[in-house]
Structure 1
Amino acid sequence: MLIQTLAAAATTAAPQNKFGFVEALQAGGFIAYATVSILGIMSFGSFYILFTKFFEQQKIMRQGRDVGTSFWKAPSLRDGANKMDKNSAWRQLVDDGLAAEDQHGKMTDSMEAHDWLHGSLARSEASINARLAGGLPFLATVGATSPFIGLFGTVVGIYRALIAIGLAGSASIDKVAGPVGEALIMTALGLLVAVPAVLAYNWLQARNKRIAENLNGFSTDILANINSKGAVRPAAIAPAKSAAPAAAAPIKK
């Protein structure tokens, strides 16, 4: 009984924390809840785009590695395209190149086949790159605006601290600790949302550039193969020519 009484007395005497995160939101009211909600949505969207674009890039890179091992070993572009996934970006380039070749034969003007094929493949590359860049503007927007959204919460918190000082007539710590703490929390949340978004944007953008370079090289190989009627293939894939036997030295008599 004595122990319970002492424990209850210690609990009653212990100071209560009135300056936690939840308490700061409750003190901030609607503006604090709205600011945190907006930053939470931005953070969730940033990580969703990061993971979805990462897996999409990984799939394209894996399919690009298969191009060198299986596609160029096929006897023709059509046979090689049939070995690829239907939704592959690499197959899209092959299909668009073959379609452009078929369409050129139906033209009645004097447009060169090289120009028509090059334009068609460039248009196909642009559509793939645009699809890869989807979602990156959202990351850039989050990285640029979330600190200012947090700053808005900071300004509101400082304003509430000034009001508390004016009503109390003195800048006592118990009057300003809550609003100032709320202001600092909003600043930290804004930075916490912005930094991962900026890092994700730069990282995904760099990977997209590498994929675009590989797609451009593959497009050039397709253009050369079509224009040469299948004679030109990548140097690393082309079969090595057997060396001609050395001529026998004449026998001296």
Structure 2
Amino acid sequence: MNPNVEPGAMGMAQLLTQNSGLGLVPLVLLILMSMGTLYYLLFKCWVAWQEKRRSRAYLKGFWQCPDLEAVAGQLASGANEAYGRLCAAALGAARQAQQAEGRLLLGSGEEFVLRALRHAISRERLRLEAGLTFLASVGSAAPFVGLFGTVWGIYHALLAIGASGQSSLDKVAGPVGEALVMTGFGLAVALPAVLIYNLFVRLNRLKMASLEGFAHDLHALLTTGGRQSQEVR
């Protein structure tokens, strides 16, 4: 840090020109974290919109199917979304249970289908939670990365001030104030990541509740033949 800084020259540009080496590492990390958070937000919003559109179309056709053969035909035409994958797992398990009739070592065919539905729901939960670890890591680590940049900047600012022999307030305030920019930058990166994380956790919880409700209806349809329509959230 240069202690001979004009007040008008303070800011991010001065911080970049006066920093080098390890002092720029926190800044680069924070920029990468911010870009990753923005990419995740845009990507997940696009995927969620596409998934919701396909899910509405699939459920509308599913509850209009007169029998399980029609449901299987709907799956054969392609159903690349959560409800279709859940239905495919349940129908596959039901067919296996029928083929293994009388040869199941533990439980009945109904329990076999139930286990398949639970495994399918677990896979959908893992798919929905993909990327949340990154957001949680950014939200928790970004303030500390910014704080490290501030500590490093203040350390070098004090070294430069001590070497120049000028310790007046106007000489100290500029370099130290520039170093504090890194702490603010770290907080500015962490706050959106935390808010986006909480948003997707909430959306995932609603999606999983809808999937579990569909799984109960599907289980009842396969075991008793009864059905109850369900809306996509």
TM range (shorter): 0.7 to 0.9
Map residues 1-253 of structure 1 onto 2, 5 A cutoff: 17-80=8-71, 82-83=73-74, 85-107=78-100, 108-110=103-105, 111-228=107-224, 231-234=225-228
Report the CA distance between 1:221 and its aligned residue.
Answer: 0.8
Runs of at least 5 residues in structure 1 that lack an aligned partner in the other structure: 1-14, 238-253
Distance 2:131 2:202 in 1: 14
Output one character per residue of 1:77-106: Cα deviation in whole Å (capped at 9) or x when no partner: 342354465311111111111100111123
The 3-state SS of whatever aligns with 1:105 is helix
Structure 1 range deviating more: 98-107 or 36-45: 98-107
TM-score of the superposed pair, with normalisation by structure 1: 0.80
Which of the pair is proportionally richer in helix? 2
Classify the secondary structure of the residue corresponding to 2:29.
Answer: helix
| Contact kept in structure 1, 2:86 and 2:121, CA below 8 Å | yes
Mapped partners of 1:63, 1:78: distance in 2: 21
Fraction of identical pairs, as percent: 36
CA distance in 2, matches of 1:167, 1:179: 14
Once residues 129 and 202 of structure 1 are traced to their aligned partners in structure 2, the CA distance between those partners, rounded to angstroms, is: 16
The amino acid that maps onto 1:50 is L
Question: Is the 1:165–1:176 Cα contact (8 Å) retained in structure 2?
Answer: yes
| Counterpart Cα distance in 2 of 1:77 and 1:36 | 58
CA distance in 2, matches of 1:131, 1:70: 24
Which segments of 5 or more consecutive residues in structure 2 lack a partner in the other structure?
Answer: 1-5
1:5-33 residue CA offsets vs partner (Å, 9 max, x unmatched): xxxxxxxxxx7843231221121212332
The 1:176/1:99 distance shift into structure 2, 3 A limit, reads same
Is the deviation greater in 109-118 or in 194-203?
109-118
Q: SS of the residue aligned with 1:171?
A: coil
Distance 1:133 1:235, change over 3 A: closer
Query: What is the alpha-carbon distance in structure 2 between the residues aligned to residue 78 and residue 146 of structure 1?
Result: 53
SS of 1:201's equivalent in the other structure is helix
CA RMSD of aligned residues (A): 2.2
Q: Given the two structures, how large is their TM-score scaled by the length of structure 2?
A: 0.86
Letter in 2 for 1:131: R
In the alignment, the residues of structure 1 paired with residue 165 and residue 140 of structure 2 have an alpha-carbon distance, to the nearest angstrom, of 39
CA deviation after TM superposition for structure 1 residue 39, in Å: 0.5
1:37 to partner: Cα distance: 1.0
Q: Distance in 2 between matches of 1:21 and 1:117?
A: 60
- Rounded to whole Å, the distance in 2 between the matches of 1:225 and 1:86 is 19
* The structure with more radius of gyration: 1
Q: Specify the code of the residue in structure 1 equivalent to 2:96.
A: Q
* Aligned 8 A contact 1:146 1:191 in 2: yes
